Amino acid sequence: MIFFVLSIAMIIMFIIKYYKQYHHHHFYSNFEQFNQYYCQPFASLINDDENFPLSAIDRFHKCENKNNHHIKSNMDCMSIYKYIQEFICQSNEYTNRPGPVCPFVPTSLKQNSMYFFISNDQYNTKERIIKMVEQCKYDFLYNLKPNDGNRDRLIYKCLVMLIRSSDVPHSLIDEIQIELKPSFLQDGLMFGEFHQSANSNAIRNESFYPTRTNVPLLVIRYMVANDIIFLTNQEKKYPVETCVNMIKKYLELYHLGSLYRSKPNHLQSANDILEQLNCSIKE
């Protein structure tokens, strides 16, 4: 009888542990909470920039090794906080244009529309990370504020997912981003990847790689008109039919008036890309 009771108890404990591990609700923090809960507790460990060098990341040479892994650290969140504050929100001569590295981010922070999800070691396989991303995508669309349909506010909302497991190679981050991007685009979203081996160069400088971070990130935000830049020359990553579907979705959003700051040149660029893709199909 005792053995039976112990067996039942162990089964119940296993079920509870499994449920908590794989079926819990995601917890999100805004930028202020992210700093308060995950950065400030470790702030005393930083004496100066020599002990925590943001500039240590090479942003000027193409990375050929995508099998690098993140080495998990207590300073992970602090490194992303500093990356946003000291790099992304600041001007940089290598972008070859005035303004912050990412003009979107300062307004996002001002409107308190930047959210963070910090994954733990359980998210260490492609299947688990994709499941996590899909839940984050749903919450981004329907739960995280603003979600009132005000386009001028919505376009500054973004969700940053920190992939902290040391078991995840940078190549897997790229693979997941490429695989999921078309489905995100169908929902009017952009889906980006950041890590220390990232080879996404600046728009006006092919030798500058601003998306390199100490901690791998996957980022969700709403599509804007200028994102047509990221829909060009995609044939190396996707079948032509997939590229056509992505451009058609962009054009649909353009004609619906859903793309922020859209101009006639955006429409012309999208039509030109679509024409080229259709010609390649006929060939």
Note down pLDDT in tens along the chain; length 283 residues: 565 544 564 555 554 444 444 445 789 999 999 999 999 998 877 765 555 555 589 999 999 887 888 889 889 999 999 999 999 999 999 999 999 999 999 999 999 999 999 998 899 999 999 999 999 999 999 999 998 878 888 999 999 999 999 999 999 999 999 999 999 999 999 999 999 999 999 999 999 999 999 999 999 999 999 999 999 999 999 999 999 999 999 999 999 999 999 999 999 999 999 999 999 887 6
Q: Are residues 213 and 229 in the same domain?
A: no
Residue 106 shares a structural domain with residue 92: yes
In a domain, 146, yes or no: yes
Domain C-terminal end among 178, 198, 222? 222
Are both 193 and 61 inside the same structural domain?
yes
Q: Is 230 found in the same domain as 159? A: no
Handedness of CA 210, 212, 215, 220 (dihedral sign): positive
Q: Say yes or no: 194 and 136 in one domain.
A: yes
14 part of a folded domain: no
Shared-domain flag, residues 184 and 213:
yes
Indicate if 185 and 205 belong to the same structural domain.
yes
Looking at the structure, tell me whether residues 194 and 268 fall in a common domain: no
Which residues span the domain enclosing 75? 22-222
3-state DSSP of 135-199: HHHHHHHHCCCCCCCCHHHHCCCEEEEECCCCCCEHHHHHHHHHHHHHHHHHCCEEEEEECCCCC
Single residue among 207, 222, 237 that ends a domain in this structure: 222
> Cα–Cα distances in Å, from 263 out to 38, 188, 251?
41, 17, 12
Q: Looking only at Cα atoms, what is the longest distance across the chain?
A: 78
In a 3-state reduction of DSSP, which class is residue 233? coil
Sign of the dihedral defined by the CA atoms of residues 197, 57, 27, 113, in that order: negative
Give Cα 94 distance to the centre of its chain.
Answer: 22
Residue 81 counted as domain residue: yes
- Check: CB of residue 232 under 8 Å from CB of residue 273: yes
How many other C-beta atoms can be found within 10 angstroms of the C-beta atom of residue 137?
A: 19
Boundary-marking domain end, from 173, 188, 222: 222
> Which of 239, 141, 135, 139 minimizes the C-alpha distance to 189?
141
Q: Are 215 and 70 in contact (CB under 8 A)?
A: yes
Same domain, 184 and 240: no
Specify the pLDDT at position 177.
98
Report if residue 39 sits inside a domain.
Answer: yes
In a domain, 265, yes or no: yes
Asked whether residue 52 falls in the same domain as residue 144, the answer is: yes
pTM above 0.85, yes or no: yes
Report if residue 197 sits inside a domain.
yes
Q: 257 and 215 in one domain?
A: no
Do 78 and 149 lie in a common domain?
Answer: yes
> Residue 8 domain-assigned?
no
> What total of structural domains would you count in the chain?
2
Assigned domain for 215 exists: yes
Q: Which amino acid is at 173?
A: I
Nearest to 72 by CA among 20, 129, 119: 119
Per the listing, tokens 């602090």 go with: 78
